[in-house]
Structure 1
Amino acid sequence: MTRRPLCMLCLILMLSMCATDWAGIPLIRGNPLPENAVSWIEEHPQATLCGEVIQTTENEFSQSVYLSNAYLIYQSQKLSIENVKVFLKQREEVPAGTVILVSGKLKRVEEKRNPGEFDSQQYYASQHIYYLLNNAEIIEKSENYSAYRQGISQLREYLAGVLGKIAGKEAGIFQAIVLGDKTSLDKEVKLRYQMAGIVHILAISGLHISVIGTGLYQLLMKTGLGIWGSGFLALLFMLQYGVMTGGSVSTMRAVCMFLISTGAKITGRIYDLPTALAVSAMMILGESGAYLYNSGFLLSFSAVAGAGIVVPAFTRTLEKGKEGRTGKLCTALAASAAIQLTMLPVSLYFFGEISLIGIFLNLIVLPTVGVVLGSGVLGMILGCVNLKIGSLMIFPGKILAGFYEKLCMMAGNLPFGTWIAGQPEIWQIVAYYAVLASAVLLLTYRKKKSSTSDKEKDKVQEKNIAGNLRVRKYLSLFLICTALFLISWRKTESFSITCLDVGQGDGIVVRTPEGNCFLVDGGSTNKSGTGQYQILPYLKNQGISRVDGILVSHTDKDHISGVEEILELTAQKLNSVEIGCLYLPNWKTPPEEWEKLSQLAKEAGISVKQVKEGDCLKAGKLEMQIVAPLENASGINVNEDGMVLQVKYGEFTGLLTGDMGEETEQKLLEMGDLEDVDFLKVGHHGSHYSTSQQFLDKIKPEYAIISCSSTNTYGHPAPEIVERLEKAGCKVGFTMKSGAVTVSWQKGKIRLKGYLGNYI
C-alpha cells in the first residue's frame, strides 16, 4: 500500500468519515437542515415550496417528481431543504428542468422501524432528500426547461418502448439490463433472480460499462481517431449513458472506474485497480457522504474489490498447486467463491441471507450475460430503424434470458440454496475482513529467490518454495474457515416476544433460545407488502430460517395480509424461510378469508390445523395454551371469536389477545381460565372496547405492548386504556412510538425494549 499513496489517502478519508459519524457529528446520517427550517416544517406540514424538476417517474398508481434546490418561504426568507420527492395528486406534464411552485403536505422520510427493514431514510439521504411532499398540486410552472435533460429522458423512454416491442415477455429484463429501468420488471422475476444470487446482472455495473465502453473505444480506434480522440469520445458517451440509465451508485462507480481506466490509456499511465476503486469511492462520497451506509454502494465496491484483489490471490495459488494446474472449472469456481466471500459480511448485514447456489449459477451466467447485453443493445439500436431486424438481433439474448429464468426456478426448488445467517455485529465484520485479508496476504506472499547460480541450491530452494506454498494454502484455508465461523457466530438469544411495527395491525414473533419460532398474526391496513417488507426481513435479520408455525387469531386484514403474502411467496418458491404449519381458529362457519388462507397453505405444501380452547402447542420448553376460541365458536364475529394464546416459557407467562373485546374477556373470567401474567399484548390495538378493569385486575400484567399506527383514524390507543394500564402498574410499549417492541425473559429478568429507543 505504500506504493499506492492516493489509494491510502482515500481510505484514510473514508475511515475519517466513519469516525466522525461514530462520534455523533451528523455528516452522514441525520437531518443536516437548519434547526429553524426543521422546526417550521414540524409546525407547518402543509407547505408551498419551489424547486427544479430533475426527474419524473410514473407507474400505474401515481406520478412522482424529484425536485432539486427546493426551498420554502419563511418570514420573507428562502429556507433551503435541498432535494424533495413530490407525489402529485394528478398527472401533469413536467419536463426536466422546469421550475415549479407546488403545494402539499411535507413529511420527513421515515426511519426504518423494524430490524432488517429497508432503510428508506438512508437511501433518500444519499440523494440529499430528507422530506417527501404528499398529495401535492402544482400551482405554477415555468415555460423554460432543460432540453438536454428532457431529451435524455425522452430517449430513454423511447428506447424502453423499442425494447418492449422487440423483446416480448423478456422486455422487463432487457430494459433493466440495457437501460437500468426496472419499472416494467415483474416482481416475481426480480425475486427469483435474488434467490438465485444473480440479481446483480439486472443492474448497470462494471460489466455493462466494460462491454459497451471498451467495445466503443476499440471501434473508434479502428476508425483512426487515435488514443486521445477515441478515449475522449468513449468517455463522453459513457458519461451520457450513465446519466440516461438513472445514475445508480453501481453505475456511477463503473463510470468513474472507466474514466480512470481510459484516462490511464490516454496519458500512458498504468491502471491500478485498488487505486481506481478507492478514488471512485471518494468521488461518490464527495457528492454524498450518506452513500457510505448505502447497501448498493457497499455491495458494488466489495464485489469489485473481491474480483480485483481476492480472486487473483485465489486463482494464482490454485494454478500453482501440486498438479501444476487445476482446470478451468475449479479456477472459475474459486473466483466465484472469492467474490462471494468478499461480499458476505455486507450481504448478511443488510439482508441476513446469501444465496449459496449463486456461487455455481454465476459460473454459467457471467460468461454469457455479455451476449444478453450485446444482443439487447444491438437489437435496440437496429429496432429503432426496423423492428423485425431488431427482434432478430435480440433473439439470442431472449433465449439466454429464458434459460436464466429456468435456472432461477430450479434454484428456488433446492432446499439449501440460501443460507440465512442473520445480521452480524460490527465487530464481527471487522474481524472477518481482518482474517480474510490475512489469508489473502499469506497467499500473495512471495519470498525472493537466492541470487546464487548453484543449480543444486536452486533445486532445493524450489522445493522449499513449493512446500511453503502448500503450507500457506492450508493455513489460508484455515483462516477462511475461521473468518466464516466469526461472521456466522450468534450469541444465544433469550426468550422473547417481538411486536413488529406493521402500522395499523399486528405481527408478533415468539422465539426461544433453543431455536423455536412462531409467528402470531401478520398484517396491516395502512402498509402494503407487510409480509415481504417487514416480517420476512425481520426473520432473516435475526437468522431465523424456519418458522415452526403461523397462528392466525382472526381473519381481519390487519392481521392476515402479510400472512397471505408469505403463503403466496412460499407457494411460488420465492420464500427462503421454511414454514412448518398454519394454525387457524376452529370456527363452525369460517368466512371466505379463512378458506383462502387454508387453500394458500395447501398450495404451498404447508399443513393446516384448527385449534380451540384447551389445545396446547409445545416446542421444547415453550407452551402455547389456546384460551380461545371457545367451544362451538361460530366465527361470525371474528374479533370476539378470535384466537387467544397464553404463552409460557419457564417462569414467564404472556397473553396474546388478538382483537378480543370485553365480551370475550367476561366469558373467560367466568370460566376461570385466566391467571396472572407477566406480559400482555393489549387487545384490539388499545381500543376502548377491550382491556376492561376487571380483566386487568385478574391477569395483573407487569408489561404490555400496544400495536397501532400513529396515523390511524380509530383513535387507537384510547387514552383511558393507556391510563388504566399505567394505574395498574404496567409498563407500556407502543409500536407507533418505538418501532418494533420486544419483551425478553432471561434468568428471571424481564426487559421491554423499543427498536428506536432504549429499554422502556
Structure 2
Amino acid sequence: MSILSRIPIPCTEITGRPVCLLAALVVLFSILRGLLAPPGSIDLSSAEGRYLLLSGEVLSKETTAEGYGLQLGYITFLEKNEGNTSPYKALLDKLRERWPRKGRIRVFLNGSPDKTLPYSQKPDQADIYRACRIGSRVTLSGKASIPEPATNPGQYDAQKASYARHTYLKLSDVTLKGTDQKHGNLFLNALAFLRLSLRKGAEQVFGSRNSALISAIVLGDRSGLDAETRQLFQDGGILHVLAVSSLHVTLLGLTLYKILRRLRQSFLVSALASGFLVVSYCLMTGSSYSAVRAGVMFLLWLGSQITGRTFDRLTALGAAAILILLRQPLALTDAGFLLSFGCILSLALLEPVFSDIWNPRHALSRRLSGALALQAGVLPCILWFYYQATPYGILVGLIVLPSMSLVMFFGTIGILAGLLIPLGSFFLTSARLAGGPCGYLLDLFRLLCRFAQRLPGDVIITGRPSVWKMVLYYACLLAFCLIIRLPDRKTFLKNRKKIRFFHAGLLLSLFLLMLIQRKPAFRFTCLDVGQGSCALVEQDGLTMLFDCGSSSVKDVWRRRVEPALKFYGISHIDLLFLSHADGDHISGAQELLSGMHGMLPGAACFRRMPPEGISSAQTGDLTLVQRFSAAQAGGIRIGRILLPQTDVTSDGPGMAEVIAAARRFNIPISTVSEGAEFQHGQLHLRVLSPSPGRMTGSDNEDCIVLSLSWKNIRILFTGDLEKEGEEKFTRAYQDAALFSPPRGHSETNSRTILLAGHHGSRNATSEGFLSLVRPDLVLISCGRNNRYGHPAAAMLKRLEDRGLPCFRTDQSGAFCLTAD
C-alpha cells in the first residue's frame, strides 16, 4: 500500500462545500483569462492627450480630497464638426473599433480652490457634479489620458488596477455639454449626496488633523490622507484598518440586527433591515473588494439566521469570490482582493491549527494566536505587493483592533451629528463632544505606531520574493496543517512541546526563506522619474544613488524611487550623490529626509561597509564609517550625502533644506570635486567635475560629473552639464586616456553608457563631447510630453547621424542592466 493511500482525504469537506469547488474553478478561469487577455492588450494610446466628445451613463459618483469624480459606462464617442477626413474622425474610428463592451471612463472634476494657492487653482466644478446624476446620460468634452502603467520596478500599476475594474480612460479638463434631464437612480443619488454631506461634516467635527482618518475609516475615502500619516500606519503594520472590511460591516449590520431582535422583531424583519443597511453602506463607500466580500458574507449569515441553517464561513467566502471574479476576473491580481480573501482563509484554515498546537487559554493569548495565523497566511502576499514586513504590527494590532469598534462607533456618531451643524452652533459643539473619544483613540494609534517606528527592526525590507519561494512556503505550511489535522491528531499532539518547537522553527525557516535574496554582482537602473533624474547602482553590497528628483511627478520618492529600492530589497543607501541644487535632481531627496524619524537610544544601525574609501586632494579623507545614522524613513537609511564643491552648493531653499535635515539626523555630508576617487572591488568611481579651474558660476554647468567603471562596463553621469561647462570639460580631457577601454579589455568587448546631459537638451551632448566619450548607448531621462521639449530634435539628430542607439525613459520606462 502506498503512502498516499494512507493519507485521509477529506471528501466530506469538498462535497459538503460545492460552492468552494465552484469558486476554485472561477479562480482558475480568472487566471486563464489574465494569461490569454492581459490588461495591456487593449491599446488606446492614440487617445492620450486628445480632447474627446462623448456621452455615457453615470454609474457612480464620488468625492475626494482633490475634488469630485464620476464613473461613466455605456460609452458613445461622438463626432465633432471637423469633416469626415479630419484626424479626429480617424481617432474615433480607432476608439470605436477597440473600445471594450464593458469599458468605463473615470471623469475628474475640480474641487473647491485652495485659498492659499489662488494662482494655481482651477475653477470649482461642483455644478457639473450636481448636474450629473447617477443613472442619467450625460454628454461631456474633456482631455483623455490612459491610466498610468508601472514604468519602474516595484511601482504601483494604476493601469492594471483600473483595467481590472473595466476603467480604460480618464477624462480631465471637463466641459458639460448636456444631460438627458432624468432624475436617474434616486437611491444611489441619495447615497452619493449623503457621502458628500458626511465628508463635509467630518471636516467640521474632527478638524484637519483627524477628518482624513475618519473619512478613511468610516467612509472608505483615503484620498485625504497625507503621506506622513499613511507611512506611519504602514510602518506600524495597521494600514489595513483604514479599509472598509468585515470589522465595519459587521459592526453596523450586527448592531442593528441585535437591536431589532431585542425589540422582538422577527428574524425576517431584522435581517431585511440590517441587510439593507449593509448594502447601502457598501455602495456608499465605493464597493471595494473587501467591502463587497464582507457584505456578501454578512448577507449569507443573515440568510442562515432566517432559514435556521448553519453558517459556513468558507462557503460564504467562496460565494463572494464567485460574485466578484465573474464580473471582474482581473481582480485576482489586485492586492486588496488577495489580502482580503487571504485573511479570512487564514483565520478559517490556519487559526484552528495554531490553537491546537499552542492551546491558548486566555483572551489575549487567543488573539495573539489568531494574529500569528493571519500573518503566516498572508505574509507572502504582503511581501509580493509591498516588499516589506512589519514585525511589531502584530503587537500593535492587539491594542488597535479591539479599539476599532469604539473608533467606528464614536466616529459614526460624530459624522452623523455633523449633519445637524447647519441648524446652529449648538449642534456643532454637540457633534464634537460626541466624536471626541474618537480623536483620543486615533492619537493613541499614532503614539503606538511612532513607538514601533523607533524600535530596531520595525520595518524589514525583503524585496519581492520569487514565485517558487511562495509556492514552497504555502506547500510546507499546508502540509504541516494537514498532518496536524489528521483524524488521530489527539495522539499526535500528546507530545505538544516538541510540536510547538517544530512549529516555531518551521515558521521562522519559512520567513527566512522569504527574506534571503540572491542579488546580482552588478546592477544599474536608470529610473523613470518623469522630468528629472535618478539612477541606482548596486555592486557587492554597495548601494549608490545618483540624483533623486523630478519636476513633473509629485511625491517622486514615495511613488517611484522608494518602491524600486524596496522591490530590490535595499534598506541602505551607502552614497547619495546630488549633482546640483535643481529641484528635478533633489526633490526626492528632500522628501526622503523630511520623512525621516529618529530611533530609540541604542537602536542605531551598524553594518559592514565594504567600501575601501573615497578621498580627494580638495576634500580630504572621506573614508566611510561603519555606523549608520539612526534616522530612517520607511526602513531606508542614508550613509553619506555627497554634494559638488562649488560656490553655489547651498544656493536655493531645496539644497539648504537637504543640508539642514542631514545635519539634524547626523547624516555625514561631504563635498567632492575633480580628482576624488573611490574603489570597491572591481568597481571604480572617479569624480571628473566640478573643477576649481573650470568654474562657470552656473549651477547646471558646475554640477557633479562621475565616471563609473565595473569590469568592461563604463557609465558616465553628467547631471545637467551643457554649454560652456561641457566645452570646458571636453577641452580638459581631450588628451587624457580617461575614456579608453578599461584595463584588461579591448574596444570590441567594452561598453560605455552615457546619461545625456540636461535631459537631452539642445545645448547638451554636443558633437565634441560625443567624440570624446564615444558611447555605445545614450540614456535620456525626461518626462513624457514635458514642457521643455526634451529631448531636443537637434540632439536626437546628432545621435542618429552617429548611429548611436538611444533609450528614453519617457517612452520605455526604467532602464536596467544586470551582470554577474
State if a TM-score over 0.5 links the two structures. Answer: yes
Q: Residue type matched to 2:260 in 1?
A: L
TM-score (norm 1): 0.89
1:430 correspondence with 2:435: no
Using the TM superposition, give the Cα deviation of residue 328 of structure 1 relative to its aligned residue in structure 2, in angstroms: 4.5
Aligned to 2:75: 70
1:104–1:135 CA contact under 8 A, matched in 2: yes
Aligned to 2:180: 142
1:685–1:717 CA contact under 8 A, matched in 2: yes
Q: Residue type matched to 1:612 in 2?
A: S
Q: What whole-Å deviation, never above 9, does each CA across 1:202-226 have from its counterpart, x for those lacking one?
A: 1111111111111111111112222
Q: For residues 680 and 504 of structure 1, do their structure 2 counterparts lie closer, same or farther at Cα, with a shift above 3 Å needed?
A: same
- Inter-partner Cα distance in structure 2 for 1:218 and 1:423: 45
Aligned residues with identical type, % of pairs? 30
Using the TM superposition, give the Cα deviation of residue 192 of structure 1 relative to its aligned residue in structure 2, in angstroms: 0.8
Aligned to 1:19: 32
1:586–1:633 CA contact under 8 A, matched in 2: no
- Inter-partner Cα distance in structure 2 for 1:413 and 1:340: 22
Using the TM superposition, give the Cα deviation of residue 620 of structure 1 relative to its aligned residue in structure 2, in angstroms: 5.1
Aligned to 1:447: 488
Out of 687, 709, 712, the residue aligned to residue 761 of structure 2 is 687
1:103 correspondence with 2:129: no
What SS does the aligned partner of 1:102 have? Answer: strand
Q: For residues 167 and 526 of structure 1, do their structure 2 counterparts lie closer, same or farther at Cα, with a shift above 3 Å needed?
A: closer
Aligned to 1:414: 455
Out of 610, 623, 629, the residue aligned to residue 684 of structure 2 is 623
Unaligned runs of 5+ in 1: 320-324, 449-461, 747-760
Using the TM superposition, give the Cα deviation of residue 701 of structure 1 relative to its aligned residue in structure 2, in angstroms: 2.1
Q: Residue type matched to 1:707 in 2?
A: S
Using the TM superposition, give the Cα deviation of residue 517 of structure 1 relative to its aligned residue in structure 2, in angstroms: 0.8
Q: For residues 633 and 229 of structure 1, do their structure 2 counterparts lie closer, same or farther at Cα, with a shift above 3 Å needed?
A: farther
TM-score (norm 2): 0.82
Q: For residues 618 and 599 of structure 1, do their structure 2 counterparts lie closer, same or farther at Cα, with a shift above 3 Å needed?
A: farther
Out of 358, 361, 367, the residue aligned to residue 396 of structure 2 is 361
1:270 correspondence with 2:331: no
2:705–2:716 CA contact under 8 A, matched in 1: yes
2:648–2:699 CA contact under 8 A, matched in 1: no
Q: Residue type matched to 2:200 in 1?
A: G
Out of 537, 540, 555, the residue aligned to residue 563 of structure 2 is 537
Aligned to 2:373: 338
Alignment of 1:508-519 (within 5 A): 508-512=535-539, 514-519=540-545
- Inter-partner Cα distance in structure 2 for 1:242 and 1:647: 55
Using the TM superposition, give the Cα deviation of residue 501 of structure 1 relative to its aligned residue in structure 2, in angstroms: 0.7
What SS does the aligned partner of 2:269 have? Answer: helix
- Inter-partner Cα distance in structure 1 for 2:225 and 2:723: 48
What SS does the aligned partner of 2:78 have? Answer: strand
- Inter-partner Cα distance in structure 1 for 2:817 and 2:587: 24
Q: CA RMSD in A?
A: 2.6
Q: Residue type matched to 2:318 in 1?
A: A
2:593–2:633 CA contact under 8 A, matched in 1: no
1:163–1:380 CA contact under 8 A, matched in 2: yes
Q: Residue type matched to 1:668 in 2?
A: F
Q: For residues 232 and 521 of structure 1, do their structure 2 counterparts lie closer, same or farther at Cα, with a shift above 3 Å needed?
A: same
Q: What whole-Å deviation, never above 9, does each CA across 1:613-656 have from its counterpart, x for those lacking one?
A: 11124455433211111126657311110000111233432211
What SS does the aligned partner of 1:744 have? Answer: strand
What SS does the aligned partner of 2:692 have? Answer: coil
Using the TM superposition, give the Cα deviation of residue 56 of structure 1 relative to its aligned residue in structure 2, in angstroms: 4.1
1:583 correspondence with 2:621: no
1:244 correspondence with 2:295: no
2:694–2:725 CA contact under 8 A, matched in 1: no
Out of 519, 539, 546, the residue aligned to residue 492 of structure 1 is 519
Q: Residue type matched to 2:739 in 1?
A: E
Out of 647, 658, 661, the residue aligned to residue 597 of structure 1 is 658
Aligned to 2:705: 644
2:382–2:388 CA contact under 8 A, matched in 1: yes
Out of 577, 580, 590, the residue aligned to residue 551 of structure 1 is 577
Flag as ranges the 4+ runs of structure 1 deviating above 6 A: 74-78
Using the TM superposition, give the Cα deviation of residue 174 of structure 1 relative to its aligned residue in structure 2, in angstroms: 2.1
Using the TM superposition, give the Cα deviation of residue 543 of structure 1 relative to its aligned residue in structure 2, in angstroms: 0.6
Unaligned runs of 5+ in 2: 1-12, 80-88, 110-121, 421-426, 599-631, 741-750
Alignment of 1:98-497 (within 5 A): 98-146=136-184, 147-168=186-207, 169-319=209-359, 327-382=362-417, 384=419, 386-447=427-488, 464-467=491-494, 469-497=496-524
2:753–2:775 CA contact under 8 A, matched in 1: yes
Q: Residue type matched to 2:170 in 1?
A: L
What SS does the aligned partner of 1:507 have? Answer: strand
Q: For residues 620 and 360 of structure 1, do their structure 2 counterparts lie closer, same or farther at Cα, with a shift above 3 Å needed?
A: farther
Number of aligned positions between the proteins:
718
Aligned to 1:86: 107
Q: Residue type matched to 1:167 in 2?
A: F
1:249–1:296 CA contact under 8 A, matched in 2: yes
2:51–2:144 CA contact under 8 A, matched in 1: yes
Using the TM superposition, give the Cα deviation of residue 121 of structure 1 relative to its aligned residue in structure 2, in angstroms: 0.6
1:435–1:482 CA contact under 8 A, matched in 2: no
Using the TM superposition, give the Cα deviation of residue 193 of structure 1 relative to its aligned residue in structure 2, in angstroms: 0.8
What SS does the aligned partner of 1:523 have? Answer: strand
Q: For residues 549 and 40 of structure 1, do their structure 2 counterparts lie closer, same or farther at Cα, with a shift above 3 Å needed?
A: closer
1:192–1:574 CA contact under 8 A, matched in 2: no
Aligned to 1:455: none
1:442–1:476 CA contact under 8 A, matched in 2: no
Q: What whole-Å deviation, never above 9, does each CA across 1:465-486 have from its counterpart, x for those lacking one?
A: 4445555444444443343233
1:612 correspondence with 2:625: no
Relative to structure 2, which stretch is displaced further, 177-186 or 243-252?
177-186
- Inter-partner Cα distance in structure 2 for 1:415 and 1:477: 22
Q: What whole-Å deviation, never above 9, does each CA across 1:291-329 have from its counterpart, x for those lacking one?
A: 11111111111122222221221123201xxxxx56554
- Inter-partner Cα distance in structure 2 for 1:85 and 1:120: 13
- Inter-partner Cα distance in structure 2 for 1:279 and 1:706: 50
1:348–1:354 CA contact under 8 A, matched in 2: yes
Using the TM superposition, give the Cα deviation of residue 545 of structure 1 relative to its aligned residue in structure 2, in angstroms: 0.8
Q: For residues 733 and 39 of structure 1, do their structure 2 counterparts lie closer, same or farther at Cα, with a shift above 3 Å needed?
A: closer
Out of 527, 534, 537, the residue aligned to residue 507 of structure 1 is 534
Q: For residues 704 and 363 of structure 1, do their structure 2 counterparts lie closer, same or farther at Cα, with a shift above 3 Å needed?
A: same
Using the TM superposition, give the Cα deviation of residue 554 of structure 1 relative to its aligned residue in structure 2, in angstroms: 1.3
Using the TM superposition, give the Cα deviation of residue 58 of structure 1 relative to its aligned residue in structure 2, in angstroms: 5.1
